[in-house]
């Protein structure tokens, strides 16, 4: 069932990307893509992987906060396996990690599901910080409406996590999916862990690591621009634009924000002088590195984790 859903998401992504190429001039995009310098690919992938390393440190930190300690090799594979379902709405498919921890180490979902939810919360906080702080300084007041939407979203997520009745109502919508249904009871009985995973110390450390991840990943994204010889957008600008696009994609509730993230990226880069046609193509290329590369690694790790 999961594999069928993943195939449907991939087909959906291919259709969306094809529509972009059809609406805009595909020939022009193809010609520009030919100018990409392939020697930058190892650097880009290295920075993306370094970013994963930072996120793994955050994951391990949250696990130890609940006195969960597992062998390093298995822990890395389980964490990477979560990327396989990163194309689910709000990365809810990463709850797969909770299932793997239960099956391999008999760790109850009640302890691990809240940790994965808190990961998403810290993703939002850190990404919003980058989008708001960097965006306000380098992208100007024209981005203020978007920034306000993002800030409101963050407060909304915080409200959902801390008001139990609201939290139960929102999560019940997700549990309509059969794959997520098994996590319903553990999540409803684990409100305390949310509070334990959101102390001032944990918020500071986890958010700082998330911000660090965005900056490291941003180096890889910037090298995508360098590979195309683009000099109209700077490093800090591209980080803010990408972070804003990711948040808007998350708001859409589409799998991995497909279509919305790329469209937002293209629109935002056009405000800085880039052709929207090329901005969309650039977004697709960036997502190959930051999203789809991770999905491939996730499936490989999932296979390896099951064989251990």
Give 73-121 as a DSSP string: HHHHHHHHHGGGGTTSGGGGGGGHHHHHHHHHH---HHHHHHHHHHHHH
- Give the number of other Cβ atoms within 10 Å of residue 267's Cβ: 16
Task: Measure the CA–CA gap between 92 and 4, rounded to whole angstroms.
Answer: 17
- Model confidence pTM above 0.85: no
Q: Residue 1 pLDDT > 50, yes or no? A: no
pLDDT digits (tens, 9 = 90+) for 104-152: 898 888 888 888 888 888 888 888 888 877 776 666 656 667 666 766 7
pLDDT band at 268 (very low <50, low <70, confident <90, very high): confident
Q: How high is the pLDDT of residue 277?
A: 79
Instruction: Say if residue 192's pLDDT is above 50.
Output: yes
Q: What pLDDT does 28 receive?
A: 61
Q: What is the DSSP letter of 292?
A: I
Nearest to 121 by CA among 201, 203, 50, 182: 203
Q: Distances from the Cα of 285 to the Cαs of 200, 223, 278, in angstroms? A: 37, 12, 10
pLDDT at 147: 62
| Rounded-to-integer distance, Cα 132 and Cα 105, Å | 40
Please check whether residue 285 is in contact with residue 261, taking contact to mean a CB–CB distance below 8 angstroms. Answer: no
What's the whole-number mean pLDDT along residues 60-80?
A: 92
Confidence check: pLDDT of 171 > 70: no
Contact partners, residue 214, CB within 8 Å, separation at least 6:
51, 126, 127, 130, 239, 243
Residue 210 pLDDT class (50, 70, 90 cuts): very high
pLDDT digits (tens, 9 = 90+) for 283-299: 888 998 999 899 999 98
Q: What is the total residue count of the chain?
A: 308
Greater model confidence, 234 or 4: 234
Question: Tens digit of pLDDT for each residue in 156-166?
Answer: 766 776 666 77
Which of the four pLDDT bands, split at 50, 70 and 90, describes residue 185?
low
Mean pLDDT of 34-58: 93
């Amino acid at each position: 069932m999961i594999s069928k859903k993943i195939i449907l998401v991939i087909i959906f992504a291919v259709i969306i990307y094809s529509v972009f190429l059809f609406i805009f001039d595909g020939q022009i995009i193809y010609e520009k893509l030919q100018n990409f310098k392939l020697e930058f690919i190892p650097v880009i992938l290295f920075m993306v992987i370094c970013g994963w390393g930072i996120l793994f440190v955050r994951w391990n930190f949250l696990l130890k906060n609940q006195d969960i300690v597992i062998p390093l090799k298995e822990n890395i594979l389980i964490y990477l396996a979560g990327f396989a379902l990163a194309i689910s709405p709000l990365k809810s498919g990463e709850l797969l990690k909770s299932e793997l921890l239960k099956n391999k180490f008999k760790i109850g979902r009640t302890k691990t599901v809240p940790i994965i939810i808190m990961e998403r919360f810290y993703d939002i906080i850190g990404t919003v910080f980058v989008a708001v702080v960097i965006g306000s300084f380098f992208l100007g007041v024209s981005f203020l409406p978007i920034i306000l939407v993002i800030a409101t979203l963050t407060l909304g997520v915080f409200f959902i996590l801390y008001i139990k009745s609201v939290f139960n109502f929102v999560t019940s919508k997700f549990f309509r999916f059969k794959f997520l249904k098994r996590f319903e009871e553990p999540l409803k009985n684990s409100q305390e862990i949310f509070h334990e995973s959101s102390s001032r110390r944990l918020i500071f450390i986890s958010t700082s690591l998330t911000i660090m991840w965005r900056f490291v990943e941003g180096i890889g994204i910037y090298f995508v621009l360098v590979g195309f010889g683009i000099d109209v957008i700077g490093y800090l600008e591209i980080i803010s634009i990408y972070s804003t696009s990711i948040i808007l994609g998350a708001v859409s509730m589409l799998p991995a924000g497909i279509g919305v993230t790329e469209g937002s990226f293209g629109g935002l880069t056009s405000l800085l002088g880039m052709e929207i046609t090329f901005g969309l193509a650039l977004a697709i290329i960036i997502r190959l590195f930051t999203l789809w590369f991770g999905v491939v690694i996730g499936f490989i790790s999932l296979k390896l984790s099951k064989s251990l």
